[in-house]
Amino acid sequence: MSEPTRSQPPRQVSLMATCLADAFFDDVAVATVLVLEHLGCQVSFPEAQTCCAQPAFNAGDWLAARPVARHTLSVFRDAAAVVAPSGSCARMLSHGSLLLFEGEPDLAAAEELATRSWELSDFIVNGLGVRKWPGRLSQRVLFHASCHSRGTRYATAARTLLASIAGLELVEFREAEQCCGFGGTFSVNFPGVSHEMGALKLSHASEANANVLVSADMGCLMHLDGLGKRQGAPLRTRHLAQVLRDALEGVEATA
């Protein structure tokens, strides 16, 4: 299913921080706000937000997922635009919820919210038309595209922004398109397979002799960072929003 048709988004943005940002990656949420504010956006944070309902949805427990998703529909009902620093959560809003509420009274509201929901890099590049990011970072960067970015414009948009930063070298690595092994509940249900997939991803990443692995999904970063530390060969990981913020602050620090 393709992304919903959208018009150019407004500069009034509601941030969906996501569960992982709330629990583990607070700096990603902060970086996302700073990046959006640099672009002239007014960012609000609806404090009643909880989960997008993706974990229960992916686990097949749609009865449990629907009340959570309905809460999300209510919280962001009046948002002019919703931006999430997560391909998986953005995809839940633009695709998963439409499946979840098929044949339900909430379908129309889910379809309407889908037209106002954006993944961060997609919002910047395809929504606002920004294709060159200011600043400088002298780093060799690997980009890992999450599985939820497949069939969307998310990964292409993220690579466009990274490649535009002065001093940053975007490095290719083997089997870059393969899953990192996290997969949310997949890593819980199949820990052995998940571990081996992640170890293979790290092995290919280490061959590239890069400074940092970047992704736009925190689940992938958490999985790969944890595996690397347990193996005694940690690979520095950063979220796309952090890289954009770091490059921007390099400009502002010398202005």
Domain assignment present for residue 225? The answer is yes
Q: Which of 93, 127, 161 is the last residue of a domain?
A: 127
Would you state the pLDDT for residue 7? Answer: 66
The per-residue pLDDT for range 155-193, each reduced to its tens digit, is 999 999 999 999 999 999 999 989 999 988 889 889 999
Asked if residue 170 and residue 109 are part of one domain, the reply reads no
Asked if residue 191 and residue 83 are part of one domain, the reply reads no
Domain range for 104 is 12-127
Distances (CA, A) of 30 to 230, 241, 252: 28, 9, 17
Asked if residue 84 and residue 150 are part of one domain, the reply reads no
Would you state the pLDDT for residue 164? Answer: 98
Output the domain CATH number for residue 86. Answer: 3.40.50
Would you state the pLDDT for residue 253? Answer: 47
Would you state the pLDDT for residue 231? Answer: 85
Domain assignment present for residue 5? The answer is no
The per-residue pLDDT for range 77-111, each reduced to its tens digit, is 999 999 999 999 999 999 999 999 999 999 999 99
Domain assignment present for residue 223? The answer is yes
Asked if residue 148 and residue 65 are part of one domain, the reply reads no
Within 8 A by CB and 6+ apart from 95, the residues are 1, 114
How far apart CA 169 and CA 189 sit, in angstroms, is 37
Report pTM. Answer: 0.93
Locate 20 and state its tokens: 């992982």
Model confidence band, residue 1 (pLDDT cutoffs 50, 70, 90): low
Number of folded domains that form the chain? 2
Domain assignment present for residue 116? The answer is yes
Asked if residue 114 and residue 77 are part of one domain, the reply reads yes
